[in-house]
Chain A
Amino acid sequence: MKMNSVSHKLLAILTTLLVVGTAAAADLKIGVVSPMTGATATFGQENTNGIKLAYEKFKKGPGKKFDLIIEDDKSEAIESTNATRKLLSVDKVSAMIGAPTSSLALASAPIVQEAKIPFITPTATNVKVTQVGDYITRACFTDDFQGVVMAKFAVNTLKKTKGLVLIENTSDYSKGLAKAFTDEFTKLGGKMVSTEELTYAAKDTDFQSLLRKVKRANPDFVFVPGYYVEVGLMLKQARALGINVPFLGGDGWDSPKLFEIAGEAVKGSFISNHFAPDDKSPVVQNFVKEYEKAYGSKPGSFAALGYDSLGILVDAIKRAKSSKPADIRAALVATKGYQGITGTITFDKDRNPTKSAVVLEATPSGYVFHSRVNP
């Protein structure tokens, strides 16, 4: 009998502990799928750094308590679906932050849509991503918008009408941006000086053959919608060949690495971007300071948009006053005037944010804010 009462007591204690334990636990979970290893890990790691920073900030705030669960997708589509399903059915997350590249986001989006869980991708700029369904949103503007911004900038601000585009033809991002740019540029009266499509591939290191063609075509400016590693090498080689016209680019250029690779050569280039690290607003300055303190380097767009993705979600959860996915989704797509690092965010009916882009000028000491372009 004694034994029995002891075990009863033990059971009672255990139950209390369990109850206390669950009471202290989070109200809901937010899942993150991001490439921490594999080919695109460099984007994924920066992206998650931003998300983690946001978690530290928002978990203490008012509203519902939540847990963050990060899964690695190895930069592979099959892994991405596995990880997504794991988050949905094992961890039972109520909302998800998707992969930063369009290909990986496209792999997990249909599953999330089917499970009816609100989903936000930080940096998948491809138009197709949000077309998957009404639970899929994004924190960044699309390729189309960015192309238009830069075309307007070239014609209206720089007053240059003889252009040339260099495309990374292994990347959908580059192709999409190039098309949007070319369409708007010709509409505004600009002219492409080469009829030949000039392309390069990811991981190319030598651009001399391409740049020779650029030099002969003699444009007023060159638009390169690519990523910073190739662009950095390209800029260096272009200046060495005596091509001194301005180079324009998109958010793929946004990394301090560009300056390490290209050095002086980056001077006189302009890019469109999601945020300006030298923006004087306290929100941005706080973010930059905290990020530098936590990770020892300056944040790029991937970090900023990762930060904003979680911010937007938390804001939606707060407004939803519920941890039901459907309620969060309703609040999420109704996001209006959210003040993030990357501007004031309002979702349009296709669940793409309407927000302003910034044009940054590259100086040897880093990017400086040049102007803001509203949609």
Chain B
Amino acid sequence: MTQNTIYFFWDCLQYLINGIAQGSLYAIVALGYTMVYGIIRLVNFAHGEFLMLGAFCGYFALKFHLPMPVAIIASMLGAGIVALIVERMIYRPIRNEGRIPALITAIGASLFFQYTGQLVFGADPKTVPPVFKEVLYTFGEVNVSNIQVFIFGLTLLILLFLWWLTHYTKIGVAMRATSFNLKAAELMGINTNKIIAFTFFLGASLAGLAGILMGYTMSVEPMMGMSLGLKAFVAAVVGGIGVIPGAALGGFILGIAENMVAGLYKSSFRDGVSFFILIIILLIKPSGILGKNVKEKV
């Protein structure tokens, strides 16, 4: 093998690792999309903005010299509370009016937060003060940073937590029941309003977490939720929207594919490959890789 071929394999391994790290972020955001969709069949376009607002909460916490764990909690709570308010004020009143009005309201909320954010916080990207040091571990030609390991580990923990939550707690079972059939769940004595609000809170706090992590590795700005949100949404659909492990799987697939294409070909086709995978998956299995097929009843 020539030196170049050896380099090629090392490179591929590196892109794989970077892809997994980036996919972890997509996965965390996609989980929120998927949970909300699973429960009320709403594509929550404002999810990316929950992420952005969470990131700003964390940024301000770090600015006031609070420790990183506090900042993370601030991000999650901040995003969660905004989501609760938005859900109560504008999603709940039109939940029964069909899906399209709900979708338009979600888009409205998204626009509102983006543009108001640019005027209130300023459009310039804000850098989060470095709290812990980035360390690179080198194996042969491959580098892994401690932040990458941290994000990946965190994603696995979250998945484990969600699995426990949905299978072994009362509220989790109620969530699944609501997702399966809202009316029936209501008749069984489940307070579906509460369950939906809780799902929003949970999903948004995960977005807030992803927001501060992303802000930490890059920067915080009012438009940050837009592209990441769209990408995470694609990930959720690829994996099977409404299915929790599907969101994670979709996130990883997208992360890896994007890094491979950007590394081996051109980074301007990075976004293109996500949408390309999306369309291929939709054409082969519209409900996503892990999605359930729903038969139409007459």
Contacts and interface: CB of A to CB of B under 8 A. Distances in A.
Given A204-B262, A216-B7, A41 B123 contact: yes
A278 interface: no
Contacts of B15: 209
A261 B14 contact: no
Contacts of B108: none
A44 B123 contact: yes
Most buried by B among A42, A199, A206, A257: A206
Contact of A257 (B18, B125, B130, B136): B125
A192 B87 CA distance: 56
Interface string A178-208: 0000000000000000000001110111101
B224 to A, nearest CB: 9
B14 to A, nearest CB: 6
Given A201-B270, A212-B11, A240 B134 contact: yes
A18 B198 CA distance: 61
A45 B119 CA distance: 10
Contacts of A241: 136, 143
B67 interface: no
Nearest to B223: A39
A191 B219 CA distance: 35
A99 to B, nearest CB: 14
B164 interface: no
Contacts of B125: 42, 229, 257
A260 interface: yes
B124 A209 contact: no
A199 B127 contact: no
B221 interface: yes
Contacts of B21: 206
Interface string A34-53: 00111101101110000000
Nearest to B129: A260
B136 to A, nearest CB: 5
Nearest to B224: A203
Most buried by A among B14, B21, B123, B270: B123
A209 B259 contact: yes
Q: How many B residues touch the partner, as a band?
A: 20 to 34
Given A37-B118, A39-B223, A169-B266, A46 B124 contact: yes
A42 B221 contact: yes
Given A208-B14, A208-B18, A208-B143, A229 B268 contact: no
Nearest to B130: A263
B26 to A, nearest CB: 13
Interface string B216-228: 0111010100010
Contacts of B123: 36-37, 41-42, 44-45
Interface in B125-154: 125, 127, 130, 134, 136, 141, 143
A233 interface: yes
Interface residues of A, number: 33
B22 interface: yes
Contact of A169 (B124, B223, B267): B267
B267 A204 contact: yes
A203 B227 contact: yes
Contacts of A263: 130
A72 B45 CA distance: 25
A201 to B, nearest CB: 4
A204 B267 CA distance: 8
A286 interface: no
A170 interface: yes
A241 to B, nearest CB: 7
B266 A199 contact: yes
Given A37-B115, A260-B127, A240 B223 contact: no
B192 to A, nearest CB: 38
B101 interface: no
A41 B118 contact: yes
B208 to A, nearest CB: 19
Contacts of B259: 206, 209
A226 to B, nearest CB: 12
A129 B270 CA distance: 30
A209 B118 contact: no
Most buried by B among A199, A208, A210: A208
Nearest to B123: A41
B141 A201 contact: no
Nearest to B227: A203
Interface of B: 7, 11, 14-15, 18, 21-22, 115, 118-119, 122-125, 127, 130, 134, 136, 141, 143, 217-219, 221, 223, 227, 259, 262-263, 266-268, 270
Interface of A: 36-39, 41-42, 44-46, 169-170, 199-201, 203-206, 208-210, 212, 216, 229, 232-233, 236, 240-241, 257, 260-261, 263
The 4 closest A-B pairs by CB, nearest first: A41-B123, A209-B263, A201-B267, A260-B127
29 contacts: A36-B118, A37-B118, A37-B119, A37-B123, A38-B118, A42-B122, A42-B124, A42-B125, A45-B122, A45-B123, A45-B124, A46-B124, A169-B268, A199-B266, A200-B262, A201-B267, A205-B22, A206-B22, A206-B259, A208-B143, A209-B18, A209-B259, A212-B11, A216-B7, A229-B125, A241-B136, A257-B127, A260-B127, A263-B130
